[in-house]
């Protein structure tokens, strides 16, 4: 491993150390790891920082460092977040549902004029109480009683189908990485500057008309996306 950075060598040793550990098991302190591996605390700290960004460990101020839960693998398809993780215990914190003028970005996604009325649905999605994603959906026009209809069903796509007769026929997803700003970091319970997987989705009805534009910011340490396709 000549030429390999010192911190990376220690990172591999820590990975070996926690290979058989269960989620939630504590790691030794930085000082203990430095003594065990005969290196500096600075090197150990760099290794732990990278492991935290990869979602292998969780560092909690005042409590210590722990083995993280395995990442959630979501298969993106013609489904909502709730349906992507079918069978998982999902909850939502509804931050707000309101009508507002469409921003240029939202208007472009929905194919409408900037300033047109849209319904905004802003939520934090959780699994087992832990925040996983911040999701902001925009629907063109007004939706009477959408707060009550969504609360009864949980899934936005199911709500659109059952309460409003809107069935999605196709979606386009654009995936990018962004760093968490102060507001989103607070919502997701992560540090400012940690990576997010951001998916911008345009969903369309059978006639091709856009019926949803959504920005979903997923915790980069908790999510992996998998896409499947078949060829003739």
Q: What is the CATH number of the domain that holds 117?
A: 3.40.1410.10
From CA 131, how far away is CA 184, in angstroms rounded? Answer: 11
pTM of the model: 0.67
Which alpha helices (H) appear in 38-111, and where do they start and end?
41-53, 81-84, 104-110
Write out the residue range of the structural domain in which residue 135 sits: 72-226
Give the count of domains, the chain: 2
From CA 194, how far away is CA 171, in angstroms rounded? Answer: 28
Same domain membership, residue 189 and residue 118 = yes
**Per the domain annotation, does 132 fall within a domain?**
yes
Same domain membership, residue 197 and residue 104 = yes
Same domain membership, residue 188 and residue 83 = yes
Same domain membership, residue 146 and residue 101 = yes
**Per the domain annotation, does 231 fall within a domain?**
no
Would you give per-residue pLDDT tens digits along the chain (232 residues)?
556 788 888 988 998 888 888 888 999 999 999 999 999 999 999 999 888 877 788 887 788 899 988 765 444 454 555 555 554 557 889 999 999 999 988 999 999 999 999 999 999 998 878 898 999 999 999 999 999 999 998 889 999 999 999 998 888 888 888 888 888 989 998 888 888 888 899 999 989 999 999 999 998 877 776 665 555 4
From CA 186, how far away is CA 10, in angstroms rounded? Answer: 30
The 8 Å CB, 24+ separation contacts for 95-100 are 95/122, 95/123, 95/124, 95/187, 96/120, 96/122, 97/121, 97/122, 97/146, 97/147, 97/150, 99/142
Same domain membership, residue 173 and residue 144 = yes
Same domain membership, residue 107 and residue 63 = no
């Amino acid at each position: 491993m000549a030429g390999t950075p010192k911190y990376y060598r220690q990172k591999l040793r820590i990975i070996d150390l926690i290979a058989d550990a269960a989620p939630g098991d504590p790691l030794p302190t930085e000082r203990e790891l430095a003594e065990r591996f005969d290196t500096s605390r600075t090197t150990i700290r760099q290794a732990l920082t990278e492991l935290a960004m990869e979602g292998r460990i969780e560092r909690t101020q005042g409590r210590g460092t722990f083995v993280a839960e395995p990442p959630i693998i979501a298969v993106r398809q013609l489904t909502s977040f709730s349906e992507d993780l079918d069978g998982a215990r999902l909850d939502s914190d509804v931050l707000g549902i309101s009508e507002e003028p469409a921003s240029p970005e939202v208007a472009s996604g929905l194919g409408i004029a900037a300033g047109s009325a849209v319904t905004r649905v802003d939520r934090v999605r959780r699994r087992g109480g832990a925040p996983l994603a911040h999701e902001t959906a925009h629907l063109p026009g007004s939706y009477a009683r959408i707060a009550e209809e969504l609360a009864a069903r949980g899934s936005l796509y199911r709500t659109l189908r059952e309460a409003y007769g809107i069935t999605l026929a196709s979606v386009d997803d654009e995936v990018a990485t962004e760093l968490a700003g102060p507001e989103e970091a607070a919502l997701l319970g992560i540090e400012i500057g940690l990576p997010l997987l951001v998916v911008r989705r345009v969903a369309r009805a059978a006639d091709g008309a856009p019926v949803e534009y959504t920005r979903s910011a997923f915790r980069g340490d908790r999510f992996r996306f998998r896409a499947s396709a078949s060829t003739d």
